[in-house]
Amino acid sequence: MQITTTHPQPEVAHSLDLVGRFDAFEVPSFDDIIASLPSETGQTIAVDLSQVEFIDSAALASLVRVMKRQREAGGDLILRKPSDPVRVIFELTKLNAAFTIED
Amino acid sequence: MSTNARSSETRSSETLSLYREWVASPITDPPVYSVVIPAYNESERVVFTIGAIATHVSGLGQPWELIVSDDGSTDGTVGLVEDLGLPNLRVVSDGINRGKGAAVRQGMLAARGDYILFADADQSTPITQFELLLEPLLHGAAVSIGSRAADGATVANKSGLRTALTKGLNLLVRSAIGLPYLDTQCGFKMFTRSAVHDLFGRQLIDRFSFDLEVLFLADRLGLDVAEIPVEWIDAPGSTVSPAKVALEFLRDIAQIRVWAAQGRYDTIHNKTRSGSEERKTLADHNYSSSA
């Protein structure tokens, strides 16, 4: 999986674009990048999932951890443009209601 | 927005719309495709795999069915799948753990599609490879087998041990049983309905080496088998024990030869089912609900 961090936008402190398969093999890299981001109280992180082909339980758990951490600090995790299979997986697991998802 | 982006978005919208139709009501026409997922204690992975498969195959625009063939799971896999409540998703199970070969046979014989794929629950071969296997069947082949060793295949994250095991097994297969395939064990194989009847109707092995038996039978029956290079990712959490599988292979190669000599493969003994043995209620079995 490729992970690209992009320039901050007005509404988000950090934006990450993920490409490929997001599974247990890739979670450590994703977690490392998230941990390396400068953190400030109340910041929001956006993750673009439009190029993610498949997501597994480990990846979903990682996203839940990031969401909880950001919300506890007064910010949020925004998931942007999930691909069809990723959107369907969020729906089947009913986690679409828990995340902030933007199209 | 670029033209490519717009056409990709349109495709995406159509795929999602077809998926929403598929989950909303039972198909009315006979299925063109069936996808069978053999499952043993797959509660952590099966919903994700169902999501990926359901999205992609619905997007092909044909009536199709999805079958989870449970192998006596004790981790709540069956309940988890049934709780999804998808009208074109069936669970078949007798609640007994026999082995992958038995689970695949059970699912394949329950399938009603013209073209029937079995795909491992870990999505190690992504469902996006579906059309690659379908193509030869549309042009007369009876069986398409995904291959990690054929020219053009891509393999990622495979451990050294698993690479060595696969190479060893394939060498063994080619020398001991005379099959020409570079990879007999990829968990992504597609059959015409007629081939399912001929092959899984005769298949006897309940363990991992059933693939080998099925290909041996296809060779004996003179069926046209296409070996197709696929993308393969060694998915985390594999439940395969390399040493156990290698020992089973040695035993089963000998067993296949004995059964063939005894004429055990001359007749069809496993009948295609109409679905009458599907599980109807979870209460029939004592599955754990600790998903």
The vertex-B163 CA angle with B161 and B167, nearest 5°, equals 120
Inter-chain CB proximity A56 and B45 less than 8 Å:
yes
**Does residue B99 sit within a domain?**
yes
**Does residue B268 sit within a domain?**
no
Q: What CATH number does the domain containing B144 carry?
A: 3.90.550.10
What residues make up the domain containing A8?
2-102
Check CB contact of A92 with chain B, cutoff 8 Å. Answer: yes
**A 54-83 near B (Cβ less than 8 A):** 54-58, 60, 83
pLDDT tens-digit map of B40-72: 999 999 999 999 999 999 999 999 999 999 999
- Kindly report the backbone phi and psi dihedral angles of residue A49, in degrees, each rounded to the nearest multiple of 5, phi listed first: -110, 15
Letter string b/e over residues B97-118, b meaning 16 or more CB atoms within 10 A of that residue's CB? eebbbbbbbbbbbbbbbbbbbb
**Does residue B75 sit within a domain?**
yes
Q: What's the per-residue H, E or C state across B83-100?
A: HCCCCCEEEECCCCCCCH
Please give the interface size between A and B, counted as residue pairs whose CB atoms are below 8 Å apart.
54
Confidence of residue B285 (pLDDT cuts 50, 70, 90): very low
DSSP letter for B198, please: H
pLDDT(B276) > 60: no
Mean pLDDT of B58-87: 97
pLDDT tens-digit map of B163-173: 777 777 777 77
Query: Would you say B68 and B81 are in contact if contact means Cβ atoms under 8 Å apart?
Result: yes
**Along chain A (103 residues), what's the average pLDDT of each consecutive run of 10 residues?**
70 87 94 86 90 95 95 93 96 95 91
- Kindly report the backbone phi and psi dihedral angles of residue B3, in degrees, each rounded to the nearest multiple of 5, phi listed first: -60, -45
The domain total for chain A is 1
Tokens of B75: 């981790």
Confidence of residue B263 (pLDDT cuts 50, 70, 90): very high
**Does residue B290 sit within a domain?**
no
What is the DSSP secondary-structure string of A35-91?
HHS---TT-EEEEEEEEEEEE-HHHHHHHHHHHHHHHHTT-EEEEES--HHHHHHHH
**Does residue B270 sit within a domain?**
no
What residues make up the domain containing B164?
3-262
Cα pseudo-dihedral A50, A52, A56, A58, rounded to 10: -90
**Does residue B38 sit within a domain?**
yes
**Does residue B275 sit within a domain?**
no
Residues in B closer than 8 angstroms to A57, CB to CB, are: 44-45, 48
Query: Would you say B113 and B33 are in contact if contact means Cβ atoms under 8 Å apart?
Result: yes
Tokens of B143: 């069986």
- What is the distance between the alpha carbons of residues B202 and B130, in angstroms, rounded to a whole number? 25
Closest CA to B242 of B160, B158, B162, B167: B162
Report pLDDT for B163.
72
Inter-chain CB proximity B15 and A84 less than 8 Å:
yes
Q: Which of A92, A95, A96 to mutate to test the interface with B (most CBs of B within 10 A)?
A: A92
DSSP letter for B42, please: -
**Does residue B249 sit within a domain?**
yes
Question: Exposed, middle or buried: residue A2 (CB in 10 Å: 0-12, 13-18, 19+)?
Answer: exposed
The domain total for chain B is 1
Q: What CATH number does the domain containing A56 carry?
A: 3.30.750.24
pLDDT tens-digit map of B126-172: 999 999 999 999 999 999 999 999 999 998 876 677 677 777 777 77
As a whole-number percent, the residues of chain B with pLDDT over 70 amount to 85
Report pLDDT for B291.
26
Confidence of residue B203 (pLDDT cuts 50, 70, 90): very high
Which residue is closest to A51 within chain B, CA to CA? B8
SS3 state of residue B177: coil
Quick count: other Cβ atoms within 10 Å of Cβ B63?
16
List the end-to-end C-alpha distance of chain A, in Å, as a whole number: 21
pLDDT(B281) > 50: no
